[in-house]
Amino acid sequence: MVNRDSLIYCLIPNLEVGGAETQLLRILPHFRDKFEVRLLAQKKGLLVDDALNTGLYQSHFAKTKIGFAVSLLTRIIISRIYKRRIVIIEAYLPSMIFISALVKLILRGKVRVIANRRSQLFYRGRSMFRDTLDVWSSKHVDFTICNSPSIARELVDKEEVKQSKLSVIPNAFFRYSAAPGGSRKKGEARIIVVSNHHRYKRVNDILRALAILKSKGQNPEVLLFGKGEDTSSLENTTKLLGLTNVHFRGVVKNPWFEFCSNDIFVHASETEGFSNAVLEAMGNSLACVLSNIESNRFVAGDCALYFEVGDYEELSKKLLELLNSPQERLRLGLCSLERVEKEFSVEKLVQKRVEIYNTIISSVG
């Protein structure tokens, strides 16, 4: 039964395709029989269009941050006029958390703010002004959700969030109609990389590892999905290294379907909040070779091969091991699938969010 005494606004980041939007729009349908949920997005993107097409929830759009704030404030005021018991605002980016905190301060009363700190590690230090606003916003947040222990620890260590007002809810894996991974071409193994092309993603290390493999007579087909400020540089490096079997595919609407036609997934990032790409690869039974960072180990556990950040020679050895061993690829793939279904199921993670919403609603007098 839907709780009509409360209204939840989810503020979607100004990105067309991203981890936060992907997770949010997949999760929301599971709440439709429990809460009334509305989306407020700053930009219409592919994933948002998909959400609208389902007809499961109302959506609204605002093109600027000022319009975003005014739209949110107006809609909450209207909701209060209709005697809503409580309005919960769940916001993702620092700017949206700030807007939510400001709206709460203006309206006071029964408005609560949830900060979804999925990218906490990447927004600090850009400017003193932004950091000051972020710290101010944190003081007016009622509860914080993050999807990685590393982000949670940073928030607690800096005394920005109390442990009792913080919950780690990792992203959920969603099963699609496409079949899980397996052998694509007899005698061959294909590698897939799904990553934004930013410096900290260290895609260049993957190219260097592939060059070492080529020097040893191994020239596997590699598909690179993603784009960013380093795309041109990576394409040039590929040409200089003579990696003729590396193909840049850009950004696709549903990259998770691409996992099904590949065998090995590589992720070389030096820092992450939570990698959806790793989760999707594991859920499709791919053998994963990952950089040895906390967030990757949080997702993959013992179901992947690891190499130290920046050590592309070690990465090449791990890749060579998997290219030469279909049995090891199969073992890691099955281990990954079992872990994902046990630790990252939709039902398990949706229930955690429902408990948070209910706790906030029941705490308001």
Using the predicted structure, report yes or no on whether residue 3 has a pLDDT greater than 80.
Answer: no
Least trusted range by pLDDT, from 37-46, 108-117, 290-299, 313-322:
37-46
Residue 179 falls within a domain, yes or no?
no
Tally of CB atoms within 10 A around 289: 26
Q: Specify whether 148 is located in the same domain as 241.
A: no
Residue 47 falls within a domain, yes or no?
yes
Whether residue 7 contacts residue 84, with contact meaning beta carbons closer than 8 Å, is answered with yes
C-alpha torsion 63→64→67→71, nearest 10? 60
Q: What is the pLDDT of residue 186?
A: 54
Q: What is the pLDDT of residue 49?
A: 56
Residue with more model confidence, 53 or 155: 155
Mean pLDDT of 55-59: 52
Residue 137 falls within a domain, yes or no?
yes
Using the predicted structure, report yes or no on whether residue 42 has a pLDDT greater than 70.
Answer: no
Give the CA angle between residues 97, 277, 237 to the nearest 5°.
105
Q: What is the pLDDT of residue 53?
A: 55
168 phi, psi to nearest 5 deg: -95, 115
Q: What span, in angstroms and rounded, lies between the C-alpha atoms of 43 and 64? A: 9
Q: What is the pLDDT of residue 178?
A: 45
Residue 81 falls within a domain, yes or no?
yes
7 phi, psi to nearest 5 deg: -140, 130
Mean pLDDT of 8-15: 69
Task: Give the model confidence (pLDDT) of 103-123 as tens digits.
Answer: 888 887 788 999 988 754 445
Q: Cα-atom radius of gyration of the chain, to the nearest Å?
A: 22
Q: How many domains does the chain have?
A: 2
Joined together, the tokens standing for residue 209 give 């590892």
Residue with more model confidence, 56 or 194: 194
b/e per residue 6-45 (b: at least 16 CB within 10 A): bbbbbbbbbbeebbbbbbbbbbbebbeebbbbebbbbeeb
Q: Specify whether 358 is located in the same domain as 301.
A: no
Pick the closest to residue 8 from 95, 105, 116, 102 (CA basis). 116
Alpha carbon of residue 23 to chain centroid: 7
Which residues are CB-contacts of 319 (< 8 A; sequence separation ≥ 6)? 191, 209, 210, 213, 218, 220, 264, 266, 289
Using the predicted structure, report yes or no on whether residue 70 has a pLDDT greater than 50.
Answer: yes
Hey, what amino acid is at 162? K
For a pLDDT cut of 70, what percent of the chain falls above it? 81
Q: What is the pLDDT of residue 107?
A: 83
Q: Specify whether 230 is located in the same domain as 288.
A: yes
Q: Specify whether 143 is located in the same domain as 244.
A: no
Q: What is the pLDDT of residue 180?
A: 45
Residue 21 falls within a domain, yes or no?
yes
Q: What span, in angstroms and rounded, lies between the C-alpha atoms of 275 and 202? A: 14
Q: What span, in angstroms and rounded, lies between the C-alpha atoms of 293 and 113? A: 31
Residue 184 falls within a domain, yes or no?
no
Q: Specify whether 359 is located in the same domain as 322.
A: no
Q: Specify whether 100 is located in the same domain as 204.
A: no
b/e per residue 198-212 (b: at least 16 CB within 10 A): beebbbbbbbbbbbb
Residue 22 falls within a domain, yes or no?
yes
Which residue segment(s) compose the domain that 326 sits in?
191-343
Task: Give the model confidence (pLDDT) of 239-249 as tens digits.
Answer: 999 999 999 99
Residue 181 falls within a domain, yes or no?
no
Least trusted range by pLDDT, from 102-111, 264-273, 334-343:
102-111
Using the predicted structure, report yes or no on whether residue 319 has a pLDDT greater than 50.
Answer: yes
Q: Specify whether 121 is located in the same domain as 207.
A: no
Using the predicted structure, report yes or no on whether residue 335 has a pLDDT greater than 90.
Answer: yes
Using the predicted structure, report yes or no on whether residue 124 has a pLDDT greater than 70.
Answer: no
Q: Specify whether 117 is located in the same domain as 225.
A: no
Task: Give the model confidence (pLDDT) of 302-312 as tens digits.
Answer: 999 999 999 99
Q: Specify whether 117 is located in the same domain as 153.
A: yes
Q: What is the pLDDT of residue 254?
A: 67
Task: Give the model confidence (pLDDT) of 338-362 as tens digits.
Answer: 999 999 988 888 888 889 988 988 8
Give the three-state DSSP class for 44. coil
For a pLDDT cut of 90, what percent of the chain falls above it? 41
Least trusted range by pLDDT, from 139-153, 171-185, 251-265:
171-185
Mean pLDDT of 53-60: 53
What is the full DSSP assignment across 149-188?
HHHHHHHHHTTSS-GGGEEE-PPPP---SSPPP--SBTTB
**Ordered strands of the 3-12 beta sheet:** 58-61, 35-41, 3-12, 86-91, 111-116, 143-146, 166-168
Q: Specify whether 152 is located in the same domain as 20.
A: yes
Q: What is the pLDDT of residue 183?
A: 45
pLDDT band at 181; cut points 50, 70, 90: very low
Q: Specify whether 197 is located in the same domain as 335.
A: yes
pLDDT band at 258; cut points 50, 70, 90: confident
Q: What is the pLDDT of residue 4?
A: 64
- CATH code of 304's domain: 3.40.50.2000
pLDDT band at 87; cut points 50, 70, 90: confident
Q: Specify whether 196 is located in the same domain as 121.
A: no
pLDDT band at 270; cut points 50, 70, 90: very high
**pTM (2 d.p.):** 0.82
Hey, what amino acid is at 261? S
Pick the closest to residue 95 from 26, 12, 172, 24 (CA basis). 12
Pick the closest to residue 169 from 18, 34, 27, 304 (CA basis). 27
Which residues are CB-contacts of 14 (< 8 A; sequence separation ≥ 6)? 41, 42, 43, 93
Least trusted range by pLDDT, from 43-47, 157-161, 314-318:
43-47
